[in-house]
Chain A
Amino acid sequence: MTHCRLTRNRREFLSDAFCGFGTLALTSMLFEEKLRAARNNPLAPKPPHFPAKAKSIIFLFMAGGPSHLETFDHKPLLNQLDGQKRPAEFGEVKYQFVTADAKILGTKRTFQRYGKSGIEVSDLLPHTAQIVDDIAVIRSCHGDMVVHSAAQYQLFSGRVIPGFPSMGSWMVYGLGAETDSLPSYVVMPDPDGALEAGQPMYMHGFLPAVYQPTMMRAGKKPMLNLDLPAGVKLEERRQTIDLIRELNQAAIAGSDPEFEARISAYDLAFKMQTEAPGVFDISTERAETLEMYGVGKEPTDDYARRCLLARRMVERGVRFVTVVSGGGPGNLQWDAHEDIEENHVRMAAQTDQPVAALIKDLKRRGMLDSTLVLWGGEFGRSPEAQGGKGRDHHNTGFTMWMAGGGIKGGQVVGATDGIGLRAVERPVHFRDIHTTMLHQMGLSQDALSYMHQGRKERLTEVHGEVIREIV
């Protein structure tokens, strides 16, 4: 089965519009419009199921599991119980490492109320504290798995096993692309290394490969195959692509939508190759902007650059961008098993300023209304100590936040119990987060489905609920 059946009219338009790359590079409005009109192009923009608030999503993935207890969920009782066993009234949970005899660990962070909303934020995140009126803090998140890989799969795809499409792939499948010079779904991993769940976490699963993510990798070649091979000049390659088109057209008899789709894929590839690198060139940004993000100084430089790139991509119509903080071994992620203070002070210092700058920047450019930002990890961290100073994984109650894209900021949803062990008020599962994201993008969790192995699969598997308070 092909996913590229185009209308018959398309052929006429193609023979008019594609007379050479010279014309193409001009990117006429006509080209764009006609491209969009191309029926059944898998990436053609599709109308949402109902009016959408958001067009794009940026997921600020704090990999490894940031502690809710050191960031957004102030628990004075925790410090009172420091060094004691968990009182029985809080019940039992299962951890990956700590066992039943573990002792409660108080936090060294101090909390203060910020903004008009007066939401409490810890001194670990002074910059985020400044934008607290724009964000909706969800203190009652929970997932089903307490180990990284499975929890990461659930966060991205709604399933605790690999092989299912990630949120980014679902969004592009549901809404198509708004850009033809950039990929629609981009992942920017942390240059320190990969995560436990590996690439399958970001992937398109059983959806056609056209919905795969583009990994924007650390190193000299951020996007795969965007650079010409060594020794090949652009002009030379342009002629090669012209030859491919001419030879392909010479072999088409009558109308042939599938072959025409292939011809246009080559034209788009060339367009990506010439235009996409522009997105990486941040020299055009004002000094004040660079400074706001923290570009050019440590420890923020790397995450600041990637947050800025995320904004530049969304500006150009990219649908979904994941910006990962943390990679490689646990202590280079938010995975603070050994020393919560040392780890979180370091990770927060790298990300807090860029994250806040991204929200401010989107807002002042008028982009925040149409860009949904999600912040969080695959779980939180245990109220109990691991090895004296660290905290273990913790999936039964933790914090994530959302901003923009129609989300009503300056409010708190849900609550954990007195020590942050369990979400007790208005629990929000990953599937509710997914449902809310789909909803803001104008997509219904039921209508967005794909037949696979005799089942209509969807992102939320079991029915999720929109977090009504914040939309």
Chain B
Amino acid sequence: MSGKRVCLLFAIAAGLLTQAASEEYTAAERRHWAFQPVVRPQAPAFTLAADKTWARNPVDAFVLARLQKEGLRPAPAATRATWLRRVYYDLIGLPPSPEQIKAFESDRSAGAFEKVVERLLESPRYGERWAQHWLDVVRFAETDGFEYDTHRPDAWRYRDYVIRSIQEDKPYNQFITEQLAGDEMDAADQTLRVASGFQRLGPLRKNAGNQEVASSRNEVLTEMTNAVGSALLGVTLGCARCHDHKFDPIRHTDYYRMQAYFAAVHDQDVTVATNEEKASWEAAKKAVEAEIEDLRKQMKTLKGEERGRMQQRIRNAQERMPGPLPALYSVHNDFEKASSIHVLARGEYQNKGQRMGMRPLGVLLPDGAAELEPGVKAPRTQLARWIASESNPLTARVMVNRIWQYHFGRGIVATPNDFGRMGGRPSHPQLLDWLASRFVEEGWRMKPLHRMIVLSNTYRQTSASPQEAVAMEKDAGNAWLWKFNRYRLDAEQLRDSMLAVSARIQLKMGGPSVIVPADEELVNLLYKPAQWAVTADGAEHDRRSVYLIHKRNLRLPMMEVFDAPDFQTSCARRESSTHAPQALELLNGAFASEMAKALAARLDREAATTAAQVDLAYRLAAGRAPSAKEKQLGVEFLRNQPLREFALAVLNLNAFLYVN
């Protein structure tokens, strides 16, 4: 099928009419690789027996062909224990136990590797782990940010929706359609209503006093539009908010035509409280209101600093106001209040240009493609149909690239949110297209892709290649995958692993987010310290990190120093920096101390001699037995030093923090 014909069909799929519009695109603009239709390439074939054996699936075939072209060889296979630890962290974000390692090492049956992968993909831990990736991309947080950083106490429902969807391997086209247009699909379906809360995930600025309605609305629409560009389409749509995109064929008008799909979107909290809950909520609210009223009266006579202190007391009282009743954070179309969408010069709401209607990105349509007729009943359903279409050249490519990146630490396109000209070129373009078309063919499901990738020989390579010196000269960034990329645990993997090896982890799933204790000095850096209301049940504090509150104005130092994102903008790829505050956190931080104590207690419980304690500590934390040298160092240390300090050292080891 010719490119032009695809575009045309595509236009029909998007419900477009033909009507002349001003923008046209040059052939060069249309030629950019990411805008070409996905065409399934043939996997390379090999003649040598060794190559045939190594290329156990198409992933391997594409990688091997590229390596050979560059004059490189794949690294040897990692040991079983190394592969097991790698695949555990990758798929479930937690280390295998010594028993699991032992069982796998002794399972010499034909499908031993496959069995492990199936078990992990079915584990609820998988949904928790891979949900985190999506939550990064959509900048999920549970507070507004800005001045009030108001909590969104029911935001966890969206997080649980993501975990469940990923766990059950919901087709990706359905997953994104639900988020874009769940409320339009079925307003009575609670799951769909929660899903469409996707459009409300961005920071939200509120202020007292005179309201700048137009500018606030512009900010909200901007957040919605930009998220679609970076999270779903992998294009820097946001760059076209102020002017034509400087590098990509995305016009200033494209931005506002995309925004037009959201013109009628307004927040809607769907209350799910019972009448009793409503009554007790009213009572609690009245009590605090009375208290504040009283303080306000007292304040009338006060001046200066005393007045300031009283303001503080009033503020503290306000913090005791009962939180909102349980609700689903959703959106709906309110066509009466629909914003009139115009091209805005420099993105400023005051500088209104020509009025814009709904239309997908022009470069993916025939020249002169018209806007949708006004009066569309379900605009976001239309948008979703276009984005989640098989013929959209971006959507599937962007998603399989994300999946690839989370497995290998680097995407086939190294810039997962930017498939434009300033983004990276694909290292394996044919592989990317092969994966994208396979993804669509298998019903947009992630699990078949995971299976193929983690069971490939590419994935099984060691992280230290015997040809390192030569390969580094040719490809220091390991774009051709001549070895596996060793990586440091990310913030969530690290915290969860510390809980796991010290046998403290609570694997309870779902529900409201947990607020763990934090230093008073840190909480006092909040404008409203009372917001940090620590979860009363201490056992909750030991839950996985995905269940900790994602508060925009206070991130736990433990997460922050290990490069957890700041929830303000979409995070497509975590940084991995190395610096002294990380060491201070893992040595002196309250959490590290507590985990060290718990690990020490476990070692004491489960191992009788110091030698056995050293052995067990390594098996728990590093997924392997200690070397003779390591064992000797540990045993010598334990002659004079407490077990707690040894346990702390173990939680600081590279062998624990890195995945080979």
Contacts and interface: CB of A to CB of B under 8 A. Distances in A.
Contact of B208 (A96, A208, A247): A96
Contact of B627 (A241, A251, A270): A251
Contacts of A451: 422
A248 B653 contact: yes
Interface in A419-469: 451, 453-455
B210 A99 contact: yes
Given A205-B568, A328-B312, A342 B582 contact: no
B496 interface: no
B209 A97 contact: yes
A194 B578 contact: no
B276 interface: no
Contact of A265 (B423, B527, B573, B578): B578
B525 A189 contact: yes
Interface of A is mostly: loop
Contact of B576 (A1, A161, A194): A1
Given A163-B568, A197-B147, A251 B630 contact: yes
B229 to A, nearest CB: 9
Interface string B563-584: 1001011111101111111111
B469 to A, nearest CB: 10
A243 B646 contact: yes
Contacts of A95: 209-210
B557 interface: yes
A338 B311 CA distance: 12
B581 A225 contact: yes
A273 B627 contact: no
Contact of B417 (A228, A240, A251, A454): A454
Q: Which of A3, A199, A270, A346 has the most CB of B within 10 A?
A: A199
A269 interface: yes
B633 A266 contact: no
Q: Which of B238, B522, B566, B640 has the most CB of A within 10 A?
A: B566
A376 interface: no
Contact of B554 (A199, A212, A219): A199
Given A161-B568, A268-B583, A3 B577 contact: yes
B26 interface: no
A26 interface: no
Nearest to B583: A269
B571 to A, nearest CB: 8
Interface stretch (B4-12, B289-297, B587-595): B587-595
Contacts of A218: 521, 524
A250 B633 CA distance: 9
B333 to A, nearest CB: 26
B305 interface: yes
Nearest to A250: B629
Contacts of B582: 265
A116 interface: no
A453 B238 contact: yes
A30 interface: no
B420 interface: yes
A106 interface: no
A195 B210 contact: no
Interface in B615-660: 627, 629-630, 633-634, 637, 640-642, 645-646, 648-649, 652-655, 657
B370 interface: no
Contacts of B568: 161-163, 200, 205
B655 A251 contact: yes
Given A265-B579, A266-B583, A225 B588 contact: yes
Given A1-B576, A2-B576, A198-B149, A330 B581 contact: no
Interface stretch (A255-263, A308-316, A395-403): A255-263
Interface string A302-343: 000000000000000000000000001111100000110011
Given A150-B205, A253-B464, A237 B311 contact: no
B578 A4 contact: yes
B584 A224 contact: yes
B517 to A, nearest CB: 14
A239 interface: yes
A43 interface: yes
A244 B652 contact: yes
Contacts of A237: 587, 645
Contacts of A94: 210, 212
Given A99-B210, A194-B526, A331 B308 contact: yes
Contacts of A203: 566
B585 interface: yes
Q: Which of B464, B527, B573 has the most CB of A within 10 A?
A: B527
B208 to A, nearest CB: 7
18 contacts: A96-B210, A149-B147, A193-B529, A194-B529, A196-B527, A198-B525, A198-B526, A210-B577, A224-B522, A243-B633, A247-B649, A253-B464, A266-B583, A266-B652, A272-B584, A454-B247, A454-B418, A455-B239
Interface of A: 1-4, 42-43, 94-97, 99, 147-150, 161-163, 183, 189, 193-200, 203, 205-206, 208-210, 212, 214-215, 217-222, 224-229, 232, 236-237, 239-241, 243-244, 246-248, 250-251, 253, 258-259, 261-262, 265-266, 268-270, 272-273, 328-332, 338-339, 342-343, 346, 451, 453-455
Q: Top 4 nearest A-B pairs by Cβ distance? A: A163-B568, A454-B418, A198-B553, A269-B583
